[in-house]
Amino acid sequence: MTLLVVGGAGYIGSHMVKALHAAGLETLTLDNLSNGFRDAVQYGEFVQGDLADRVFLQSLFERQSFEGVFHFASSILVGESVRDPAAYYRNNVVNTLNLLDVMRTFDVDKLVFSSTAAVYGEPESVPITEGHPVLPISPYGKSKAMVESILADYQRAYGLRHVRLRYFNAAGADAEGKLGERHEPETHLIPLVLQAASGRRDAVTVFGRDYRTEDGTCIRDYVHVEDLCSAHLLAWEYLCSGGEPRAFNLGNGRGFSVQQVIRTAQQVTGRPIRVLDGERREGDPDVLVADSHDARQVLHWNPQRGELEQIIGDAWRWEQHRP
Helices (H) and strands (E) in the chain, counts: 11, 14
- 154 sits in which H/E element: helix 139-158
Angle of the 11-22 helix axis to the 225-240 helix axis, nearest 10: 60
Q: Is the peptide bond before 127 cis (omega within 30 degrees of 0)?
A: yes
Our measurement of the distance from residue 212's CA atom to the centroid of its chain's CA atoms, rounded to an integer in Å, reads: 27
* Residue type at position 40: A
Q: Which phi and psi angles does 47 have, rounded to 5°?
A: -130, 130
Residue 257 near residue 265, CB atoms below 8 Å: no
**Residue 281 clears pLDDT 90, i.e. is over it:** no
The pLDDT value given to residue 9: 98
The structure's pTM equals: 0.95
Q: Which phi and psi angles does 37 have, rounded to 5°?
A: -135, 130
| C-alpha span between 27 and 32 (Å, rounded) | 16
| C-alpha span between 98 and 101 (Å, rounded) | 5
For 105-128, what is the mean pLDDT? 96
**Residue 199 clears pLDDT 80, i.e. is over it:** yes
**Residue 167 clears pLDDT 80, i.e. is over it:** yes
What is the DSSP code (8-state) at residue 128?
B
| C-alpha span between 119 and 138 (Å, rounded) | 9
The pLDDT value given to residue 75: 94
- 82 sits in which H/E element: helix 78-83
**Residue 283 clears pLDDT 90, i.e. is over it:** no
* CA distances from residue 107 to 19, 62, 99, 103, 155 in whole angstroms, order as listed: 25, 12, 12, 6, 13
Predicted confidence band of residue 282 (pLDDT cuts 50, 70, 90): confident
pLDDT tens-place string over residues 233-250: 999 999 999 999 999 999
Residue 217 near residue 278, CB atoms below 8 Å: no
> Quick check: is 158 catalytic?
no
Q: Is the Cα dihedral 152, 158, 162, 167 positive or negative? A: negative
For 164-185, what is the mean pLDDT? 93
**Residue 202 clears pLDDT 80, i.e. is over it:** yes
Predicted confidence band of residue 1 (pLDDT cuts 50, 70, 90): confident
The pLDDT value given to residue 99: 98
pLDDT tens-place string over residues 254-275: 999 999 999 999 999 999 999 9
Question: For a pLDDT cut of 70, what percent of the chain falls above it?
Answer: 100
**Residue 117 clears pLDDT 80, i.e. is over it:** yes
| C-alpha span between 176 and 83 (Å, rounded) | 37
Q: Where are the domains of the chain?
A: 2-170+224-250, 174-221+253-321
- What are all long-range contacts of 265-272, with beta carbons under 8 Å and residues at least 24 apart? 265/190, 265/193, 265/194, 265/197, 265/312, 265/316, 266/197, 267/309, 268/309, 268/312, 268/313, 268/316, 269/194, 269/197, 269/198, 269/316, 271/197, 271/198, 272/197
Q: Which of 88, 120, 140, 238 is catalytic?
A: 140
The superfamily (CATH) of domain 2-170+224-250 is NAD(P)-binding Rossmann-like Domain (3.40.50.720)
pLDDT tens-place string over residues 12-60: 999 999 999 999 999 999 999 999 999 999 999 999 999 999 999 999 9
CATH classification (class only), 174-221+253-321: alpha beta
For 63-80, what is the mean pLDDT? 95
Residue 287 near residue 218, CB atoms below 8 Å: yes
The pLDDT value given to residue 89: 98
* CA distances from residue 190 to 222, 247, 250, 282 in whole angstroms, order as listed: 9, 27, 18, 21
| C-alpha span between 73 and 31 (Å, rounded) | 8
Tell me the β-bridge partners of 78: none
For 78-86, what is the mean pLDDT? 93
Same fold, 2-170+224-250 and 174-221+253-321: no
Mean pLDDT of all residues belonging to the chain: 96
**Residue 312 clears pLDDT 90, i.e. is over it:** yes
- 143 sits in which H/E element: helix 139-158
| C-alpha span between 316 and 25 (Å, rounded) | 29
For 210-239, what is the mean pLDDT? 97
